[in-house]
Structure 1
């Protein structure tokens, strides 16, 4: 890695933000009254937010009407279609949402988040003499664009046959990402929490051998408690359970649930990246009996599941799939889990190769662990955009695009390809998140200036993360179009080649943009406040235009 000059002007702001956290720790102890405790929590949350990380992964919003949940998904397998017997689970009493705020986690955990964010920012900038700087976003962008365009297939004008129908082009995508498209799969999209958690709960209750879970966070709420109860019941039945969550987020949310699991003999790992202890596990994956896998954006909390009738109801997307690609999911889980566990008896064994399935979908499981000059998910996304000749649909919660993504979108528009983008608006982010919303708006403005159709979510937060291309290809998972994905967050996406499956999610996208507001010049010309200007100048300056290939 190449050392790069650190922007010393940023240090005062880092120290100011961190001093808020330290001051709060000194003033507000466990005996403080509720008002002071709440003030403490707000200050720490804002400190972490100002540094570019959300304690809730996304920001809460006001309540809005949510479409009725889709029916549970059925592949014809007894595990999904037959009635299941499971112990009765105690139903936690749902608490009313106070001013529609997200549930507040352990206040001391917020200090851990702020600490890791500050340390990561200092280390990756090259400020610390014993740490090499992480690759810059310009450097990453130049490398990945060169790799994507180093193809025997020239990008085609709109109206030409899609490159995603060319087997040689798909082979190049596989070589770039390191993820093989496995044939014989079946995929069904789980739109919003009720559909996803109906499938998750049903699969876990029906498990006979193994349940593997990887998640950014499990919350101390209805969903977190219900999930814990299901896992405790299955442990009593003799099912092997491995539960992995991000170590830093476990300081904030879910400590009681994790403690209950461990006490019952469930194998729990609090993931911390070896050699990069300030990074995050952002993967969301469930694997049951090595036969079913669910991947996407949903954590184990009420805003995702919608199980609390008085709580937030975010818009999100998972995908349930079967077939040989599930073996690759187990392999990805094993790689992460085994890096944290040294005892052979606790490790996940290498999975057996599964025989070809009978489904029509080809599915690739792509794990990305930054920082790297060859980020696998980014490469697969850019390759798909390069191959587009008709339409690109992007639904992503946080679009603060690095230069490579912006360049790829601009070039797609220059070829005449239709580009549609849905992301969060200021209205779908609460007041504490408005500074981050300005960064999103400034980023998608470059898309709009190139002729893309940009839509801004209304009502509750958008947390969904998927992209489709030419009605053939879909990438869905935990990956945000945000620099954290190239710097700090380990991500997992599933890529699907199947017109029938992609048609499902394209129909959902059409509904989502119909409920959004199409952005005009005024909506894409925010008047940022002081904190927004600080963040843009000192934390997102490397993402400004005119940095890559003439942008």
Structure 2
């Protein structure tokens, strides 16, 4: 290559870097992300242009526009047995954000850890008579994955309409023969992927939702994926601490519709949808959905609004504690109001960079008066939120920028004193197996580890 050709190539790379930097400044969701990308693209385009192509977009384009659910496919709202709990009123902003009301009449059951949760979920799937909707971020071809596969095949053979979604990145290790076997057996199964041309090169976006709906009457949401590690069978993260929620009542229709949104984006057709029967339970509930196609920062706004509504306590359990400014400020303000604020995080890392950033955020939280605890027995993957003595949420949302802005997520928020008491008892047991974080965790760490924490925090918008 001649010197002039090399010079021309360098100039072109820098020009492309400048144009990409302009795009980053115009479209990045956070100022930190815009500054980081812009500086990298202008100063080191050789190293940042390709990553920006795959990681730079912060909007999932076309999701709501390309294949809207037609009115004939959409479920009508199930009739509520009674008016929603009066306590729902203080979460009116979350209801408005979701565009649907809290609904009454729900039966709720906590399913604690993988063995108990999968025993109930797989038994419910095996009893399906009409329709089975299944969505997980990760499905592995291991013992648990093959148990799921067998049940899906049996239900399809019995004439049940079975629809399965899995995330293409989360389930990247799922072998083709696993999917082929299901399709051959009559199961409609698809990989959720950014397959439209405007999103084709993006690796940032993931469908992190975990939804199971059986015959339109029973639904499950939470943190569990399909893999032996979620049963606590894979050291060094074992035992695995997680929680799932079983829900019966009108909000099951909202979970079906949420699955239908994702299904139609991939297939262009609607899945089978069944109207749930009228609810006969005591809990009021709202399905909270978020994703990178939302016009607002739905995930962050959900946590911020919920924390701001608290007057007695905010207990949080999350595997990744990388809050944005709004959530961090809400937690600090809650402390200043005299609210009992506790955050439960893992003592063991599954992702080193996120763990380092979480440690840095935990240090700042402790300095602000927030009580932070590290769960000791095994890896903590649970996503739970407890507000005061009447409200709790269980779902797939982590407390990090990825869940706030880059992942499709779902949670069920319930206003019910009995259910909140169950969640409080569960978290009390978790805190009893945790160690309080103090300033020494950061101060006594080796210097290079502290540097690594600060460097990891620079990547907050991508974590």
* TM exceeding 0.5: yes
Contact 1:177-1:379 within 8 A present in 2 as well: no
With over 3 angstroms needed to count, the CA separation of the structure-2 counterparts of 1:236 and 1:355, relative to structure 1, is: closer
Which residue of 255, 269, 282 corresponds with 2:208?
Answer: 282
Distance 1:285 1:423 in 2: 24
Distance 2:44 2:244 in 1: 37
Distance 1:463 1:540 in 2: 19
Distance 2:258 2:120 in 1: 21
* 1:2 corresponds to: 26
**Superposition TM-score, scaled by structure 2 size:** 0.79
Specify the SS of the correspondent of 1:471: coil
Per the TM alignment, residue 230 of structure 1 is displaced from its structure 2 partner at its CA by: 1.1
Contact 1:216-1:245 within 8 A present in 2 as well: yes
Contact 1:185-1:321 within 8 A present in 2 as well: yes
Is 1:294 matched with 2:220? yes
Is 1:448 matched with 2:329? no
Contact 2:356-2:452 within 8 A present in 1 as well: no
* 2:246 corresponds to: 320
Distance 1:541 1:292 in 2: 36
CA RMSD across the alignment: 3.0
Which residue of 280, 286, 301 corresponds with 1:379?
Answer: 301
Which residue of 328, 333, 355 corresponds with 1:437?
Answer: 355
Specify the SS of the correspondent of 1:249: coil
Per the TM alignment, residue 167 of structure 1 is displaced from its structure 2 partner at its CA by: 5.0
Specify the SS of the correspondent of 2:379: coil
Contact 1:467-1:475 within 8 A present in 2 as well: yes
* 1:149 corresponds to: none
User: How many residues of Structure 1 are paired with residues of Structure 2 in the alignment?
Assistant: 401
* 1:258 corresponds to: 179
Contact 2:102-2:285 within 8 A present in 1 as well: yes
With over 3 angstroms needed to count, the CA separation of the structure-2 counterparts of 1:406 and 1:309, relative to structure 1, is: closer
Contact 2:41-2:48 within 8 A present in 1 as well: no
Specify the SS of the correspondent of 2:378: coil
Distance 1:167 1:292 in 2: 23
Is 1:540 matched with 2:460? yes
* 2:340 corresponds to: 418
With over 3 angstroms needed to count, the CA separation of the structure-2 counterparts of 1:254 and 1:360, relative to structure 1, is: farther
Per the TM alignment, residue 366 of structure 1 is displaced from its structure 2 partner at its CA by: 1.5
* 1:366 corresponds to: 288
Contact 1:319-1:476 within 8 A present in 2 as well: yes
* 1:502 corresponds to: 420
* 1:211 corresponds to: 132
Specify the SS of the correspondent of 2:266: coil
Which residue of 36, 56, 64 corresponds with 1:122?
Answer: 56
Per the TM alignment, residue 219 of structure 1 is displaced from its structure 2 partner at its CA by: 0.5
Q: Deviations over 1:411-450 (max 9, x none)?
A: 111111110110123xx126xx433312001112222122
Contact 1:215-1:282 within 8 A present in 2 as well: yes
With over 3 angstroms needed to count, the CA separation of the structure-2 counterparts of 1:16 and 1:190, relative to structure 1, is: farther
Distance 1:483 1:12 in 2: 25
Q: Which region of structure 1 is more displaced relative to structure 2, 521-530 or 440-449?
A: 521-530
Distance 1:314 1:268 in 2: 28
Is 1:233 matched with 2:257? no
* 2:386 corresponds to: 468
Contact 2:161-2:272 within 8 A present in 1 as well: no
* 1:479 corresponds to: 397
Q: Deviations over 1:327-349 (max 9, x none)?
A: 1111111111011112x4xx225
With over 3 angstroms needed to count, the CA separation of the structure-2 counterparts of 1:355 and 1:377, relative to structure 1, is: farther
With over 3 angstroms needed to count, the CA separation of the structure-2 counterparts of 1:449 and 1:371, relative to structure 1, is: farther
Specify the SS of the correspondent of 2:380: coil
Contact 1:302-1:313 within 8 A present in 2 as well: no
Q: Deviations over 1:263-314 (max 9, x none)?
A: 2121011112454343111000110000000000000001113468999431
Gaps of 5+ in 2: 1-24, 28-33, 62-84
With over 3 angstroms needed to count, the CA separation of the structure-2 counterparts of 1:166 and 1:293, relative to structure 1, is: closer
Per the TM alignment, residue 380 of structure 1 is displaced from its structure 2 partner at its CA by: 2.7
Specify the SS of the correspondent of 2:199: coil
* 2:95 corresponds to: 174
Distance 1:437 1:307 in 2: 22
Specify the SS of the correspondent of 2:323: coil
Distance 2:159 2:288 in 1: 31
Specify the SS of the correspondent of 2:301: helix
Per the TM alignment, residue 359 of structure 1 is displaced from its structure 2 partner at its CA by: 0.3
Distance 1:361 1:171 in 2: 17
* 2:256 corresponds to: 330
